[in-house]
Structure 1
Amino acid sequence: MLWLVDGNNVMGAGADGWWNDPVGASVRLTQAIAEWARTHDDAVTVVFDGRHEPRMAELAGGNLTVDFARRAGRDAADDRIVEVVDETYADEPALTVVTSDRGLVARLPPGVEVEGAGRFRTRLGIGRPTPRRGR
């Protein structure tokens, strides 16, 4: 089984202030994915937009791969995810793409499993925080 995670989409699914420090939030998400990946033998690849970030890449190893978009711009990580699916789906039909991006889902071949970003965050133990009510 291969899990292919749309890192930016999963990060953006949490209202946890990730926009104030996107690289730091990416590192925290990658750490959570690394901890989860150690609990099973499935291969896990997380793909992010942007340039190669050493702090995220350092967390790779074992069954976790950290990958980055091959180009800059809109949907760059989505393009990389589609490439990975195209490269591996014939050999690894047990494939789950983690994203809530409808445009990306529409680009996947029939039969590829999809898990939403919110559900995956819950799987990692980093579900959406409960909003604070007035004091």
Structure 2
Amino acid sequence: MDRPGGAIPVRLVVDVANVMGSRPDGWWRDRAGAATRLLAALPPLVGREVHGPDGGVLRIGEVVAVIEGAAKAAARPDGLTVVAAPADGDGSIVEIARVEASERRTLVVTADRGLRARLADGVLIAGPGWLNELIGR
């Protein structure tokens, strides 16, 4: 799974609602607009090597952003996969991480304790602060 440079390739799965909610910047007044801004910051992460939440080096091979509710109206930039959850985002994130964990390493970004508890063994987890720092938010 490691590449010659030592970085572990991962698929980054972002709980957009949870990351948006991590900063009191008025996101609640315009959820679609806040989601659009967050989504626009994610494509430049693809291909980057970053320090993971545990300190190891990760290479982000793909970004999957899960949106729900009013955020489904957000503009979807090229360079990432956007999944509009049919119900709650947590169920979609659990399913994406379950499928991906069997194929490659997955890193889920969320602070939601209930969601974290539902993730399969082997799924890496980071809080919104980790992602916010990466994207300068």
Q: Would the TM-score normalized by the shorter structure come out above 0.5?
A: yes
1:69 matches 2:85: yes
Q: RMSD of the TM alignment (CA)?
A: 1.7
Which of 89, 110, 124 is the matching residue for 2:121?
110
Relative distance call for 1:49 and 1:4 in structure 2 (3 A) is same
Which position in structure 1 is the counterpart of 2:97?
Answer: 85
Counterpart-to-counterpart distance in 2, 1:60 and 1:78: 23
Aligned residues: 117
Aligned to 1:5, the other structure's residue is in SS state: strand
Contact 1:12-1:18 at 8 Å conserved across structures: yes
Matches within 5 A, 1:26-41: 26-37=35-46, 39=48
Deviation track 1:78-109 (CA, whole Å, cap 9, x = no partner) reads 000011112221111x1100000000000001
Letter in 2 for 1:60: D
Which of 48, 56, 64 is the matching residue for 1:45?
64
Relative distance call for 1:110 and 1:39 in structure 2 (3 A) is closer
Unmatched 5+ residue regions in structure 2?
A: 1-9, 50-59
Which position in structure 2 is the counterpart of 1:129?
Answer: none
Contact 1:60-1:66 at 8 Å conserved across structures: no
Letter in 1 for 2:68: D
More strand by share: 2
Which position in structure 1 is the counterpart of 2:54?
Answer: none
Which position in structure 2 is the counterpart of 1:7?
Answer: 16
Which position in structure 1 is the counterpart of 2:132?
Answer: 121
